[in-house]
Structure 1
Amino acid sequence: MVGTSSTSFTQKVEQQNNARHFQSFPIRRRGESGDQPTALVLCDAMGLGTGDMTGLTLHDVLAVIKGHSPEGHKFSSDQALRAETVGYVKKPSAREKMHCVAFVVDATKINSYGKGMGFTFQQLREHISDLGVHQVALLTHVDQLCPQSAHDITKVYRSRLVQHTMEKAAALLGMSMSYIVPVKNYSCEMDVDEHTNTLLLCAVQHILQYVELYFQDLTEPRVV
């Protein structure tokens, strides 16, 4: 489920501890014999925040990436994920670790991110890089930036406004522009659209390329 909110919508708020749940979504493909599982699993957690009550802390994000977070874990603003947490994965397997991190940045709010958030992003990216995990950024809602892209999403890479926003996202995250992937969100559509899907599938392909690099780095012999 998705929605609009001033803070992350990926949360299940309880009256007492304002908990946020971590959830994984195995991706399946439809075949002749029904839905078939794939190796792709998307893991969703609420985003970073500028304060204790508005998002995950740096500590909890890194714990998720390292694979310590149990499925369905409730993130609490007053209690960090640690070894004493119920269900804590002490020795994560390759299946439980994250193999690529995708930052999701709203193109329409790029100017609202302050310097503090930019510092947090770049600090987090340094820690993730130390883990050997590659990173990309999904620039969402690009169709809302300019009328041309809204009318014909196939022209998204020709839009100067989208290009300029990608540059801003790259500067915010401390990334090269080649890591910024524009996508259009489904919002009011009742049916799927092939051009919208093309952007989304390109994003998935981009992610999988870095997943492959992650495993290559693990298996290739090191020169001493």
Structure 2
Amino acid sequence: MAERRRRRKSWWWPIIESEPEPEPTPSPTLSLFSNSLADVSVMMECGGREKQRDLQYVQEYRPENGDIKHLRILLYGPVGGGKSSFINSVSTVMRGRTTIPAAASATTSDTSFTRQYKTHKIRKGRGNPKTFYPFVFNDMMGLEEGSDSGVRAGDIKLAMKGHVIEDHKFNPACPLSDEDPGYNQTPSPDDRVHVLVCVISANSSEIKEPILQKMSSIRETARDLGIPQMAIVTNIDTACGEIEKDLKNVYKSKHLRKKMKDFSSAVGIPMNCICPVKNYSDEIEIDDDLDSLILSARRLMIHFGDDFIEDM
């Protein structure tokens, strides 16, 4: 428990507070905090150690509440945030090879590619019988602007309480009710959501007001239920040219930090509950830098979720 309760380091560490003179024409590709070569060297060395520490922690995690077999993490957010891709990325890190348990789209669209409520388990190794890690991700339809498009905020609220059954196909025009076959009348503690995670792309423009209203309503319900909330920001490499050159520049990017702060202000999620990640997309081999960011986010989800289920 001491390890689990330990205060999480800011993901911006180490940043030197003194900034260089601003560029005459700032741009995402040139906007970096100034770190010395020694700082970067230490950061790279610490990153490798932290990846192994976080991987071991996630591999060895077990819920202490006997009524809970799987810590359940619900991913939600605007269309195109990368929810399904994040699930695939976690699976890739944990299995040590490219895996795609969740169907994801590589094309940009205003409508959600995911239509059903799906529970994704992460398998341990190979062989029979199959064994899985004691945490699951729930993927769902994305939020869209219209009242009759995308997943309805009310359906997400029902999912948090465990009332949505596996493979339920969301109907944007009609909310789920207790008379529908997709409604779980008697959810168990294992069916409930233990961590609510908002997923948003760093490439996205300002979040439109209709989506912000839906997100605010969802967050209020999670608050009332006591469910911990956090966020992950994806596509950090395509949002900033310097991060695309070297993923370690995530610790120094002024552009990304501003995006994070703007998102925090708009949605209300504190900065220390927001994690930057790059999903596996065009990589076919394991990358330690990608893994470190993904595992750091995954570790925080376990911390928050485990605290919640201990109090259930």
Q: TM-score band (shorter)?
A: 0.7 to 0.9
1:8 CA displacement = 4.4
**After the TM superposition, which of the residue ranges 117-126 and 67-76 deviates more from structure 2?**
117-126
Partner residue in 2 for 1:6: 109
Match of 1:74 in 2: 169
- The answer to whether structure 1 residue 105 and structure 2 residue 200 are counterparts is yes
Residues 53, 116 of structure 1: CA spacing in aligned structure 2 closer, same or farther, 3 A cutoff?
Answer: closer
TM-score normalised to structure 2 length: 0.63
- Structure showing greater radius of gyration is 2
Match of 2:167, as an amino acid?
G
1:91 aligned residue: 186
State how many pairs are aligned.
Answer: 209
Q: Is the 8 A contact 1:107 1:165 kept in 2?
A: yes
Partner of 2:145: 50
Match of 1:16 in 2: none
Secondary structure at the counterpart of residue 191 of structure 2: coil
- Gapped runs of 5+ residues in structure 2? 1-102
Residue 120 in structure 1 maps to residue 214 in structure 2: yes
Deviations 1:135-168 (A, max 9, x none): 1111010111222211111220211111111101
**What SS does structure 2 have at the residue aligned with 1:213?**
helix
**Alignment partner of 1:38: what SS?**
strand
CA contact (8 A) 1:140 1:185 kept: yes
Match of 1:222 in 2: none
Residue pair 1:105, 1:169 contacting (<8 A) in 2 also:
no
Q: Which digits, 9 at most, give the CA deviation of each residue in 1:18-53, with x for residues without a partner?
A: xx2110001122279886311110000012221134
Change (3 A) 1:42 1:68: same
Contact 1:27 1:38 in 2 (8 A): yes
Structure 1 residues 100-139: Cα deviation after superposition (integer angstroms, max 9, x where no partner): 0111111111x33123322322222111110110111110
Relative to structure 1, the CA distance from residue 94 to residue 201 in structure 2 (aligned partners, 3 Å threshold; closer, same or farther) is same
Matched with 2:34 is none
Residue aligning to 2:228: 134
Distance in 2 (alpha carbons) for counterparts of 1:62 and 1:47: 14
Q: Is the 8 A contact 1:106 1:140 kept in 2?
A: yes
The answer to whether structure 1 residue 145 and structure 2 residue 248 are counterparts is no
Greater shift, 168-177 or 66-75, is seen at: 168-177
What CA RMSD, in Å, does the superposition of the two structures yield over aligned residues?
Answer: 1.8
Equivalent residue for 1:160? Answer: 254
Could you tell me which amino acid in structure 2 is paired with residue 154 of structure 1? K
| Larger relative contact order, structure 1 or 2 (CA cutoff 8 Å, min sep 6) | 2
Distance 2:117 2:110 in 1: 16
Residues 2 and 9 in structure 1, CA contact (< 8 A), matched pair in contact too: no
Distance 1:116 1:53 in 2: 12
**1:212 equivalent in alignment to 2:306:** yes
Taking the aligned partners of 2:288 and 2:128, their CA distance within structure 1 comes to: 24
Residue 24 (1) aligns with residue 126 (2): no
Of stretches 146-155 and 161-170 in structure 1, the one that deviates more from structure 2 is 146-155
Whole-angstrom distance in 2 between the partners of 1:53 and 1:5: 20
The percent of aligned pairs where both chains have the same amino acid is: 28
Q: Is the deviation greater in 33-42 or in 21-30?
A: 33-42
Question: Which range moves more in the overlay, 184-193 or 159-168?
Answer: 184-193
Aligned to 1:36: 131
Q: Distance in 2 between matches of 1:197 and 1:190?
A: 13
| Partners of 1:7 and 1:55 within 8 A in 2 | no
Question: Scaled by the length of structure 1, what TM-score is found?
Answer: 0.86
Whether the 8 Å contact between 2:141 and 2:170 is mirrored in structure 1 is no
Q: CA deviation at 1:79?
A: 2.2
